[in-house]
Structure formats: structure tokens, C-alpha cells
């Protein structure tokens, strides 16, 4: 071997006869007579590694190399045939089965050419170095079952092809029930987002992390639970309104105003709609003179809070009803995202109303 860049000559073979070297990249092939048998050798000068490609007693010679393919002529059956060897898969393949002599192979990429004496004349032949012994469309080098056209893959390495294997990844879950039949670490994908539950931090994709979700596998029920909790918080706000009304009553009484209607409202507030409460307060405010601006401002503030509360309850009622309907039909999808948005809006309203504090409550 001679390196042009360094003008260095290196001997890479022993004392026996060596012939016809061919080179591609960092690899050299030739055939040599070691111990009376002609065999093909491969030398990788990037690693200084010598590999004996063939080991038969018959003549194997005239090799050619390109990439990971080594082709040669072989007389092991008493008639010269063409073989090739894949250095990546470490597998040997026979190319020709003719009655004539096949010689002088040359390989380039996946193409092999050679000349054959079959009809009294030497002719040139070409083929692809792609072997598919069972003709299933999968090359032998990638086929776990190269002689079985019914299977080519064995994902779990159990010796049973995937087409016949009911559990391709051998995780104990049948493929028909496994969302990830080729991944032994996953089998379930509750929300269908392509991420298995074992690696998904929100299994039902309801916007609530599994660690904080009372029902991490049910996007509808978990939202209903939260909506119900918020609804309870909203209804308790009537008690706050009662207290505000009592304060207003005292202020009105101090200026000699008639407070009988408001007192009646306080007594029956649990049975009175927010709309009726607002209507009565509006009437009281209208009857106050301009000298009671401070009192009128308090009433106006309370009316504003009632409007906000009524809007939140109406929205909540609509979504609870929608949730129940969706639960019965088993529908999910974009509604889940919509419900989460509504949920967040209601929470924001409650925080603004002072019903939910900004720090987490202790159970």
C-alpha cells in the first residue's frame, strides 16, 4: 500500500501469493493463496484490521469492493459463480446459479456486473446486490425471517414474527389492546395525543396535571368536580350579600329611611333570585337623595358584584349541563379545551370577587 500524501509504502500481506488488489475508501480486498487455498481477504487500513472473507477449499478470487459490498467469483460447487458479502451485516449471498462460467465481478453501490460464458460467447450481465430470498419485498439483510414470506420483523426478539405474534413488544398486553404495540414501556394513551400514559403528565389532556387531578383518566368528571366546587363557592356569596344588606340597612335607618323592604329581602334572601335582589337595591338607590352619596356608592358597588356573580352562575350552569350531556354520550375533544378555558375564567371572576383567595386554601 502506498500513500501519495506522505509518500509512504506499507506492506500489508504475508509471504504467500496475493493477487488483484481493489480499493474503495479505507478498505482493500484481494485474493491470496494461504495454505494452498485461494480465498478473499479484506483489509481496513483505518483500523489496521484484516478479515478473511471466504474460507473454502475451492478457488475464490477476483474480488471487487464498493461501500460495504464485496463481490468475487467462486468455484465451491465446481462451476464459477458470483457471490457477494455485506460487511455491515456479516452475511454472504450467492448471486448466480448458471450452468456457464461466471467471472470478473465488479460492484458499485448496489449494482454488480460480471461476464458469463453460457452460450459459447462471453456476455455481460448486471444485477442488484439486493437479496430477497423469500420475495416478500424486504431485503434479506433487514429481514428477520429471510426465508419466510409471511414475516420479516420480530420486534421483541422472541423468535415469533410480528404477523403471528399477538404481543409484538412482549409487554404482556395484546397488540389489539396496545396503543403502542412496538413499545414495551407503553400500552395506554388515554387522551390519544401520541404520548403514552407512563410518559404523559396529563393523561386525560384536561389541562390539569395528573398530580393535581382527582380523576386523571377522565377529562369530563374531573372538570365537573372542579365546577361543582366553584358552584358551592358562588352560592355562599349570598351570605356576603346578606351582610352587605344589613350594613346598608343600618345606614338607611340612621337617616330615617324606610328599611322594611330591605329587611324583608334579608329574611328571604336564600329564596330570592339575584335578579330580584338587584331590582330592590336599584329601587332603594333611586329613592335616596343626593345627600347620601356615600350610601348610594355602597349600593352601586353591591349591584355591580351581583351582576358579576349572576354572569358567573349563568355560565357555570350552562357548562355543568353541557358536561353532563357530554359524559352520557362519551364525547370528548375540543369541548374539553373550551371547558378548561371557561373554568379558568370563572376562577378569575371568583378571585376578583374575593371568594377564592390568591393563596391555596387548606382542605
**Residues 117, 96: Cα–Cα separation, whole Å:** 12
- Tell whether 225 and 346 lie within a shared domain: yes
Specify if 152 maps to a domain. Answer: no
Q: Last residue of a domain, which of 128, 162, 191?
A: 128
Specify if 14 maps to a domain. Answer: yes
* pLDDT tens digit sequence for 182-231: 788 888 787 778 888 888 888 777 667 777 766 776 666 555 665 666 56
Q: Is the per-residue pLDDT at 283 higher than 50?
A: yes
**Parent domain of 349:** 219-353
Specify if 255 maps to a domain. Answer: yes
**Residues 269, 316: Cα–Cα separation, whole Å:** 21
Q: Is the per-residue pLDDT at 329 higher than 70?
A: no
Contact by Cβ (8 Å): 81, 102? yes
Of the candidates 152, 102, 106, the one whose C-alpha atom is nearest the C-alpha of residue 129 is: 106
Number of domains the chain contains = 2
Handedness of CA 311, 312, 318, 319 (dihedral sign): positive
Confidence (pLDDT) at 195: 87
With b for 16 or more beta-carbon neighbours within 10 A and e for fewer, the 66-97 pattern comes to bbebbbbbbbeeeebbbbbbbbeeeeebebbe
* pLDDT tens digit sequence for 106-139: 999 989 999 998 778 899 999 887 777 777 878 7
Specify if 310 maps to a domain. Answer: yes
* pLDDT tens digit sequence for 302-323: 888 788 777 776 776 666 666 5
Question: What's the grid cell of residue 351?
Answer: 378571585
Q: What is the mean pLDDT of residues 141-165?
A: 79
CATH no. for residue 79? 2.120.10.30
Return the H-helix or E-strand segment holding 114.
Answer: strand 111-117
DSSP SS3 for 279: helix
Specify if 257 maps to a domain. Answer: yes
Q: Last residue of a domain, which of 128, 144, 167?
A: 128
Confidence (pLDDT) at 211: 77
Q: At what angle do helices 219-254 and 274-287 cross, to 10 degrees?
A: 30
Q: Last residue of a domain, which of 97, 112, 128?
A: 128
Confidence (pLDDT) at 59: 92
| Average pLDDT across the chain, whole number | 78
Confidence (pLDDT) at 108: 94
pTM of the model: 0.42
Torsion angle, alpha carbons of 50, 54, 58, 63, to 10 = -80
Specify if 297 maps to a domain. Answer: yes
- Tell whether 249 and 124 lie within a shared domain: no
Q: Is the per-residue pLDDT at 170 higher than 80?
A: no
Confidence (pLDDT) at 306: 80
* pLDDT tens digit sequence for 244-279: 788 888 888 887 777 887 788 888 877 777 788 888
Tally Cβ neighbours within 10 Å of residue 166.
13
Place of cell 364525547: 331
Specify if 148 maps to a domain. Answer: no
- Tell whether 242 and 348 lie within a shared domain: yes
Question: What's the grid cell of residue 273?
Answer: 333570585
Specify if 358 maps to a domain. Answer: no
Q: What is the mean pLDDT of residues 38-47?
A: 92
Amino acid at each position: 500500500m502506498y500513500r501519495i500524501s506522505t509518500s509512504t509504502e506499507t506492506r500489508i500481506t504475508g509471504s504467500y501469493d496475493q493477487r488483484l488488489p481493489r480499493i474503495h475508501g479505507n478498505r482493500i480486498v484481494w485474493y491470496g493463496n494461504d495454505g494452498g487455498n485461494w480465498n478473499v481477504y479484506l483489509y481496513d487500513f483505518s483500523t489496521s484490521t484484516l478479515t478473511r472473507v471466504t474460507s473454502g477449499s475451492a478457488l475464490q478470487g477476483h474480488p471487487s469492493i464498493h461501500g460495504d459490498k464485496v463481490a468475487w467469483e467462486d468455484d465451491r460447487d465446481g462451476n464459477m459463480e458470483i457471490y457477494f458479502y455485506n460487511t455491515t451485516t456479516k452475511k454472504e449471498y450467492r448471486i448466480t446459479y448458471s450452468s456457464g462460467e461466471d467471472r470478473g465481478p465488479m460492484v458499485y453501490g448496489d449494482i454488480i456486473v460480471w461476464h458469463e460464458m453460457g452460450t459459447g460467447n462471453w456476455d455481460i450481465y448486471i444485477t442488484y446486490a439486493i437479496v430477497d430470498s423469500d420475495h416478500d419485498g424486504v431485503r434479506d439483510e433487514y429481514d428477520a425471517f429471510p426465508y419466510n414470506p409471511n414475516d420479516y420483523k420480530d420486534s421483541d426478539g422472541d423468535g415469533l414474527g410480528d404477523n403471528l405474534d399477538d404481543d409484538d413488544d412482549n409487554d404482556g398486553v395484546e397488540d389489539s389492546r396496545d396503543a403502542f404495540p412496538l413499545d414495551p414501556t407503553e400500552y395506554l394513551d388515554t387522551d390519544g395525543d401520541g404520548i403514552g400514559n407512563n410518559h404523559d403528565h396529563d393523561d386525560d389532556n384536561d389541562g390539569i396535571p395528573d398530580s393535581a387531578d382527582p380523576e386523571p383518566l377522565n377529562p369530563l368528571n374531573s372538570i365537573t368536580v372542579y365546577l361543582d366546587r366553584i358552584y358551592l363557592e358562588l352560592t355562599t356569596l349570598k351570605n356576603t350579600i346578606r351582610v352587605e344588606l344589613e350594613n346598608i340597612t343600618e345606614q338607611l335607618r340612621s337617616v330615617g329611611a324606610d328599611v322594611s323592604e330591605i329587611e324583608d329581602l334579608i329574611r328571604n334572601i336564600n329564596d330570592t333570585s339575584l335578579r330580584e335582589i338587584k331590582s330592590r337595591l336599584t329601587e332603594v338607590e333611586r329613592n335616596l337623595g343626593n345627600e347620601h352619596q356615600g350610601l348610594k356608592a355602597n349600593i352601586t358597588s353591591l349591584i355591580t358584584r351581583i351582576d358579576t356573580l349572576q354572569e358567573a352562575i349563568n355560565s357555570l350552569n350552562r357548562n355543568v349541563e353541557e358536561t353532563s350531556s357530554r359524559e352520557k354520550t362519551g364525547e370528548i375533544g375540543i369541548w374539553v379545551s373550551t371547558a378548561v378555558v371557561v373554568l379558568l375564567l370563572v376562577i378569575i371572576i371568583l378571585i376578583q370577587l374575593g371568594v377564592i383567595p390568591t393563596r391555596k386554601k387548606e382542605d
